[in-house]
Amino acid sequence: MKRNWEALVLRAMGGRDFRLTVLGAEPVGRHYRRLLVDDGGLLAAGKPHPTMWIRLWFDAAGRPHQRAYTLVDPDPAAGRFTLEFALHDGCAARWASTAQVGDTIVATMQGSAFTLPDPAPRHLYLVGDAASLPAVNSLLDAAAGIPATVWLEYADEGEQVLAPRARTHHEVTWVPRGDDGQQLVDTVRAGLPAAGDAYYWVACEAASTRALTRHLRRALGVGRHQVTSLGYWSAR
């Protein structure tokens, strides 16, 4: 499969390619599949960090197509990590649903960077959904001793099979998406306090992410350095 202009741009921006090899696969409920992969040297080249993501390249009817995925449980010593795929229609899902041990796929590492604030915040407020739950879990793992309030949106009850890694001092609320995602925005707005010693991380549908970020910055006056936000997907 020939690479397209996106690959050339990523390489010009410092992107590095690695070939991942499938080591194992298991279903997660009816709608997800989890793949364990050998990293092909990726973790040695880039220091693992919470919310770390890569771009995978798929064949879409003979044309290259890339999508971003968050690394789950990266293990630099073993040179492997896990990826979780939603099995809906699309070239990524088709590849993941049939991937077997020994299959390979190209991954580009470029653009992923995140560090928790120093000094550590006294509380985390995290907003996500099934798409960003691996990133949410990586934050809960990295800041295991910090109290956290988490809101997770779901469009289908089957998405709740992807369990958040919550400890006793983590409060998790699942919110149904409904027709337009407004319920998540309203629920989070009602429960978000403004705190100078807290950290806010928002990564869900793009319009919801923008609405909640505006609320944090304008209505609550939360400092820019206290907020990380990213639209993981768009409903439009």
45 and 22 in a common domain: yes
Note the pLDDT of residue 113: 86
Residues 89, 130, single domain; the answer is no
Q: How many domains does the chain have?
A: 2
116 in a domain, yes or no?
A: no
Mention every residue, 6+ apart, whose C-beta is less than 8 A from residue 154. Answer: 129, 130, 160, 174, 175, 176, 177
For residues 84 and 133, state if they share a domain: no
Sign for the pseudo-dihedral over CA of 80, 81, 86, 91: negative
Strand order in the sheet with 16-28: 63-70, 53-60, 104-109, 16-28, 32-38, 80-86, 72-75
pLDDT for position 14: 61
**Parts of the chain with a pLDDT under 70:** 1-14
pLDDT of residue 158: 85
234 domain residue, yes or no: no
The residues, any chain, with a CB within 8 Å of residue 3's CB and separated by 6 or more, are 57, 64
Residue 75: which domain range? 5-109
For residue range 2-12, list pLDDT tens digits in order: 556 565 555 65
* CA trace torsion 183, 167, 132, 66 (10° rounding): -170
| Token reading at 32 | 């997800």
Q: What's the CATH number where 60 sits?
A: 2.40.30.10
Determine, yes or no, domain membership for 27. Answer: yes
Per the listing, tokens 């407004």 go with 182
Strands 32-38 and 53-60, by their bridges, are unpaired
- State whether 159 and 97 are in the same domain: no
Residue 56 has phi, psi (to 5 degrees) of -105, 145
What is the rounded CA–CA span in Å between residue 182 and residue 160? 19
Query: Would residue 48 count as lying in a domain?
Result: yes
Residue with tokens 């809101």: 151
> What is the Cα–Cα distance from 215 to 209, expressed in whole angstroms?
10
Check: CB of residue 153 under 8 Å from CB of residue 205: yes
Same domain, 83 and 133: no
Assess whether 160 and 86 both reside in one domain.
no
- With respect to residue 114, please indicate whether it lies within any of the assigned structural domains: no
What pLDDT does 9 receive? 53
Q: Are 201 and 230 in contact (CB under 8 A)?
A: no
The reply to whether 127 falls in a domain is yes
